[in-house]
Structure 1
Amino acid sequence: MVLKNAVPQTPGALAALGLPVAAGLRRPVLASHPARLLVLFGADWDHRVLPDYNRTGCYRFHEHGFDLFRFPSNAQLMWFDIWRFVDRLVQRYRGRIDGVFSSNEQFGALASALVAQRLHLPGPEPLALLRTQHKHEARQRLRQVAPELCPDFELISCNITPQQARRLRYPLFVKPVKATFSVLARRCDTPEQLIGHLRLRRWERHILERLIAPHEQAMARYPQLAVDSHHLVVEEVIEGRQVNVDGVMHRGEFHLLGISDELTYPGTNAFMRFACPDSLDASTRSRIVAASERVLRGFGLAHGAMNLEFFVLRDGSLRLIEVNPRLAAQLAPLHEWVGGVDPYEMAFAVALDRPLPTPRPASFGAAASFVWRRFNAETCPRMPSSQDLQWLSREFPQARLELYPKSGASLARELRWLGSHRYAVLNMPAEDTADLRDRYQRVCDRFGWPAPW
């Protein structure tokens, strides 16, 4: 674990010591007690844990936004405007909050940065965040600051013609310059497969337009960003081990929360589980931590929770998959169970510009976030009954289960956009890896679910 001691709390104190002031640090926050945090676009994992933090008396949360993936909440997507949203929050909370927090990649991270900037609160610079979320801008930046981590890439239009598609090198991996949950990110082996993959129905195009609209609305005020969101990036296909890195940038310094192995379903890029502790050797782990800090500094991300993904190739070299400038809420309990680091507490401290909390002793030796998926509309899993859920709570009280049942048009759309339907996620700790596998198998047997390992 890399956890440096936090030092002075204000720009003046930093300057007095001759230390640089982080670009993302604005006015010092003299937070009230309890600290008042604006939480934007919280969803399943946030809703599980925020009440626990609220009961400590240390925080008071003001929540705004909607759940992009659950009806009827996500109907608001059809008329959402990022600047109207930000303007209302700024008017309502000026002088009434101490920090802004979001673990949401699609709208929350951007909205949080914009609100924090307007209210002169700590947070990432919006331009740096927009560049990081824009896949093409991020690749161009990576090629400048860490070229050895950057795969070969090319920009294409979402309306690419068959003739243009035939000029590309295959196989390739295609992904929108701005999307969420890997929507339309796919390996394509032929020009025909690429063209077919990008052929969307009118309603699908409308939904995707609404998903990228806030990003487009924000980019319109930043002329430095020239490529709009109606483009995709095609990259060389890379094979190797995948790892996930979680950390925070606090006053311009990187602090590691934890690293987890990312395992995918065979023959796909769909995640099957995230596992802690990671299985990296010490040298590779050290290089990944150094690369993470180098990338975040190079991207101008000086303050905030950060999530990075890497490939470790067979020859030991690294390739950066992407940077997500927000807390990876799904993986937060894994680092707390195995590493003794509470990522939410760390992210709150960063949002409030407070000293970072000290890690506690680890309570478990292993943990994982298990993801169940189906790859066609025919294999319909049984959702657990109330008796099943009571059994899970009784047998494994620390386990956290989230269910995402879908059917009909929404199921068909998810299968087409993502290549699979994620119907359940279970976070679970154990004494060690063997115990973790045994617990996982017991849950699968009880629910009648497949148990890939």
Structure 2
Amino acid sequence: MVMDVFVVGLDEENERTLHRIPGADELRFHGLLTIEDIQHGEIPIEELLEKAQRELDAFDGEIGAIIGYWDFPVSTMVPLLCRRYGLPSAPLEAIVKCEHKYWSRLEQAKVIDEFPEFDIVDLAGQPEKPEKIDYPLWLKPVKSFSSELAFKVTDDETFDEAVREIRDGISRVGKPFQFVMDQLRLPPEIADIGGEACLAESALSGVQAAVEGYAYNGDVVVYGALDSINYEGTTSFLRHQYPSQLPDEAQTRMSEIAQRVIKQMGLDHGTFSVEFFVHPESNQVCLLEINPRHSQSHAELFEDVDGVPNHYRVVQLGLGRDPSTPARRGKWGISAKWYHRRFEDGVVERVPTAEEIAEIEQRIPGVQIELVVEEGQRLSDLPAQDSYSFELADVVIGAASEKEMAEKFDRVVEALDFRFSA
């Protein structure tokens, strides 16, 4: 029997990956809303929910599952839609607890000590740095994604500049996030600040890493640890690589903390990714943030190394099934998603052709290239970028070792012919 699975924001790359999961021949995937609907411009979440419901109501068959692998608004739309159609999903309250950065910190503080100093910054009037937090610090909305409107500030001047930029842009995500919060009975301390508030946190040091896992029937399972490596001297990601190259002690500590906080959040029947800063010498860890979803950008990494994309687990959970994966082995010893970036604005005058990309992928084994920009675009108009750089292309690379993988990336960057004008 073929099961019909609806995927909110289904895109071509992830659809190809979904068709490679075990048991895909017994599944039929349907896109629900488009990438443009969920990621570009304003986020009219009420309209998006109504549009999704019309599409689902018009479906002439049985809906087997509704799933998603994107950040907000998809992460919160899935439980709202599943509740309407009587399908399994993680609780909406648990999702919002994880995604609201202040609420998340309050919950973390009940079960762990490994988090930075934090406080709310009132954007009204003349905001000031919280007394208990020293520079440098991070200033960010209580809800954002892709590091959008997250600023590292080092003094009063950069603090004021960050406040101005956050004020100008916070409503794009904060307003629809408030709509979701209004569906819940909130504790007073969260209801009072709402979804358009700002959080200050002490800047963390060390190397970045993350663990991915799932919660099913009350059990929290961590199935992998990954490293997040920045461009030297910046806060912009260069690559996410799997498996982590950190010591076993640090990976074990991350897993233990993740399991504790996921249970505290009440997240069950869902996937997650928990991000950390790690001091490699001492193996001390500090929790950065909790994402109540697995990372779609890691799907091919798990497939390269383990033989099964991490999408498998969210599909199984959506169908109400045990998400543990069959034993398989991938082709490569290590795999990473690399971000080819530009650190200054400009207009894209040329991008590599499809033929050029195909030639590079054929010449360098284990390489998959996806362009992010198009000819004619101004980089500063791109959606979902961090505050300091612009993605040009995403490159998944599998290799036998970290050194070999880095050498492949250098060859790819040298071969990609991008051109820009001011």
TM-score (norm 2): 0.87
Offset, 1:445: 2.3
Offset, 1:359: 2.5
User: What residue number does 1:322 align with?
Assistant: 289
Contact 1:277-1:366 at 8 Å conserved across structures: yes
SS at match of 2:110: helix
User: What residue number does 2:395 align with?
Assistant: 426
Contact 1:429-1:436 at 8 Å conserved across structures: yes
User: What residue number does 2:277 align with?
Assistant: 311
Q: How does 1:247-396 map to 2 (within 5 A)?
A: 247-313=213-279, 314-355=281-322, 356-378=324-346, 383-396=351-364
Offset, 1:448: 5.2
Q: How does 1:127-206 map to 2 (within 5 A)?
A: 127-146=93-112, 148-159=113-124, 161=126, 164-165=128-129, 167=131, 169-200=134-165, 205=169
Q: Are the structure 2 counterparts of residues 417 and 199 from structure 1 closer, same or farther at C-alpha, using a change threshold of 3 Å?
A: farther
| Aligned partner letter, 2:8 | L
Indicate yes or no: 2:181 matched with 1:219.
yes
Whole-Å separation in 1 of the counterparts to 2:314 and 2:140 = 29
Q: Please, which moves more after superposition, 397-406 or 217-226?
A: 397-406
| Aligned partner letter, 2:101 | K
Offset, 1:317: 1.7
Q: Are the structure 2 counterparts of residues 408 and 95 from structure 1 closer, same or farther at C-alpha, using a change threshold of 3 Å?
A: closer
User: What residue number does 1:62 align with?
Assistant: 30
Q: Are the structure 2 counterparts of residues 410 and 228 from structure 1 closer, same or farther at C-alpha, using a change threshold of 3 Å?
A: farther
Contact 2:142-2:199 at 8 Å conserved across structures: yes
Q: How does 1:8-23 map to 2 (within 5 A)?
A: none
| Aligned partner letter, 1:444 | V
Offset, 1:342: 2.6
Q: How does 1:224-239 map to 2 (within 5 A)?
A: 224=186, 225-226=190-191, 227-239=193-205
| Aligned partner letter, 1:269 | T
- Give the number of the structure whose residues are more often strand, by fraction: 2
Q: How does 1:40-55 map to 2 (within 5 A)?
A: 40-43=8-11, 45-52=13-20
Q: Are the structure 2 counterparts of residues 252 and 79 from structure 1 closer, same or farther at C-alpha, using a change threshold of 3 Å?
A: closer
SS at match of 2:328: coil
Whole-Å separation in 2 of the counterparts to 1:416 and 1:340 = 30
Contact 1:158-1:231 at 8 Å conserved across structures: yes
Q: Please, which moves more after superposition, 333-342 or 316-325?
A: 333-342
| Aligned partner letter, 1:170 | Y
Whole-Å separation in 2 of the counterparts to 1:357 and 1:86 = 30
Task: Name the % identity.
Answer: 23
| Aligned partner letter, 1:158 | L
| Aligned partner letter, 1:221 | Q
Q: Are the structure 2 counterparts of residues 103 and 125 from structure 1 closer, same or farther at C-alpha, using a change threshold of 3 Å?
A: same
Whole-Å separation in 2 of the counterparts to 1:69 and 1:442 = 35
| Aligned partner letter, 1:307 | S
User: What residue number does 1:241 align with?
Assistant: 207
Whole-Å separation in 1 of the counterparts to 2:254 and 2:389 = 29
Contact 2:101-2:143 at 8 Å conserved across structures: yes
Offset, 1:87: 4.8
User: What residue number does 1:20 align with?
Assistant: none
Indicate yes or no: 2:370 matched with 1:402.
yes
Whole-Å separation in 2 of the counterparts to 1:201 and 1:218 = 20
Q: Which runs of 5+ in 1 are unaligned?
A: 1-32
SS at match of 1:228: coil
| Aligned partner letter, 1:169 | D
Indicate yes or no: 2:66 matched with 1:104.
no
Offset, 1:323: 0.9
Q: Which runs of 5+ in 2 are unaligned?
A: none
Whole-Å separation in 2 of the counterparts to 1:91 and 1:69 = 19
Whole-Å separation in 2 of the counterparts to 1:53 and 1:359 = 13
| Aligned partner letter, 1:186 | F
SS at match of 2:164: coil
Alignment root-mean-square deviation, CA: 3.0
Whole-Å separation in 2 of the counterparts to 1:348 and 1:245 = 19
Offset, 1:93: 6.1
Offset, 1:74: 3.2
Whole-Å separation in 1 of the counterparts to 2:58 and 2:250 = 47
List per-residue Cα deviations over 1:176-217 (Å, max 9, x = no partner): 101111111111011221111232499x54xx4233333111
Contact 2:143-2:174 at 8 Å conserved across structures: yes
